[in-house]
Amino acid sequence: MTEFVLIGVPDSEMKQNHASWSTNKIGGFPDWMSIVTKQPSCSRCSKAQRFVLQVYCPLENSKYHRTLYVFCCTQKQCWSDSSGWNVYRDQMLEKVEADQPIVKESTEGESWGLGDDDWGDGGSPSPTNGDFPVVEQTCEPKQTQDEKPLESIVTSLSTQLTYNPRYIDVFNESDLISPLDGDKHIKDLISKYETSASQSKGDELFAGCSVATETYEENEQKVKNRAFHKFHKKISLLPHQCIRYNYGGYPLLLSDCDVTMSIPPCSSCGKSLTFEFQLLPGLLPTLYIDGEDPVEFGTILVYTCSHNCWGNRDSPQTGGHVVYCPDPDLKFFKSQKFNEKIKNSGV
């Protein structure tokens, strides 16, 4: 269960606020599967919450279509705490015959569609299948299942401000290679060092004068902030990443605080919750609305029911739990003088 980690990256902007429940997207309006009449509201201030993103993530060996929706409150006191965030889960039984043209379950885990996936519309193909046409569709693709936008909800939500809707690109973490930038600069440094060393000593380049006395040195910053160092190292493989999906695995934490102790059990069935995905700081540039203080977090962890309880429901499940992890150095920003200075420079 923990072998594969998926990384989501914000992609191009969408032209309309609505898509289907099977689209991974940030911002816009949520695309529910079932009929939803009640706008999610914050448990602290009871105001209506704003839609952040939705993730279509069906589980293995499950006959359900499954989408998770994340909401957050608009007030600063609320979104800076776990209680101002909410995650909803919506499921629908899969109708096999209707899915045929769109999804073909592939048994090999690692091949990503050598021509057997018809993605309907799509941009340029991935490198393994070079024969896909480059098609860009601006209208909604035909859906065989009922995915029409819900008119009643649209009118009530249209008065609210939402984030600009964007798609999400998804990659396997194991396929990322670390970037090799600045190679030329390093080559210049090495050649400069070679010339200066040969001038001064006249013997071979990397002559270690006292090899035995130099030992391996631990990076001081790494020792002090081990968790942050690991976090930063993983994120720098693909700096723009906004979601890290690892169902049943462990979250990447920003600091050494122990988060797992405070996860409550599922509110509907009482079983324990399991980690599903986390939101990363790469998401923050996309959560921007003119005239408002932007949302801030270090990382947001989303836990859902480990038994995926559903029953025969027709409205989204609220049993998940969201943990808000602030920036680890937040206490330094609390001094009044600093905040005044920032306000003055911003103006």
Partner 1 sequence: MADAAAPAGGSGTRGGFRGGFGGRGRGRGRGRGRGRGRGRGKEDEKSKQWVPVTKLGRLVKDGMIKSLEEIYLFSLPIKEFGIIDDLIGSSLKDEVLKIMPVQKQTRAGQRTRFKAFVAVGDSNGHVGLGVKCSKEVATAIRGAITLAKLSIIPIRRGYWGNKIGKPHTVPCKVHGKCGSVHVRLIPAPRGTGIVSAPVPKKLLSMAGLEDCYTSARGQTATLGNFAKATFNAISKTYSYLTPDLWRDQPLTKAPYQEYTDHLEKNHTSGGVQKQEVKKY
Site for partner 1 in 240-279 (CB under 8 A): 240, 243, 245, 247, 277
Q: Is 155 in the site for partner 1 (CB under 8 A)?
A: no
72-88 burial code (b ≥16 CB/10 A, e <16): bbbeeebbbebebbbbb
Q: How far is the CB of 12 from partner 1 (least distance, A)?
A: 4
Site string for partner 1, 72-111 (x = CB under 8 A): ------------------------------xx-xxxxx--
Residues 6+ apart with CB under 8 A from 271: 265, 305, 306, 307, 309
Q: Is 227 in the site for partner 1 (CB under 8 A)?
A: no
Residue 333 near residue 339 (C-beta atoms within 8 A): yes
Looking at beta carbons only, is 45 or 237 nearer to partner 1? 237
Q: Is 340 in the site for partner 1 (CB under 8 A)?
A: no
Report residue 215 as tokens. 């030992």
Cα 51 versus chain centre, distance = 14
Site residues for partner 1, 4-33, by CB under 8 A, read 4, 6, 8, 11-12, 14, 19-20, 22-25
Looking at beta carbons only, is 51 or 167 nearer to partner 1? 167
Report residue 127 as tokens. 């490198």
Q: Which of 18, 27, 50 is nearest to 150 (CA)?
A: 18
- Among 182, 256, 264, 267, contact with partner 1 (rule: CB under 8 A): 182
**Total site size for partner 1, rule CB under 8 A:** 116
Q: Is 221 in the site for partner 1 (CB under 8 A)?
A: yes
Looking at beta carbons only, is 24 or 74 nearer to partner 1? 24
HSE at residue 237, side-chain half, CA atoms within 13 A, is 19
Under DSSP, the state recorded for 314 is: S
C-alpha distances in angstroms, 121 versus 56, 133, 274?
Answer: 17, 9, 34
Q: Is 181 in the site for partner 1 (CB under 8 A)?
A: yes
Site residues for partner 1, 119-148, by CB under 8 A, read 119-127, 130, 134, 136-138, 141
Classify 7 as helix, strand or coil: strand
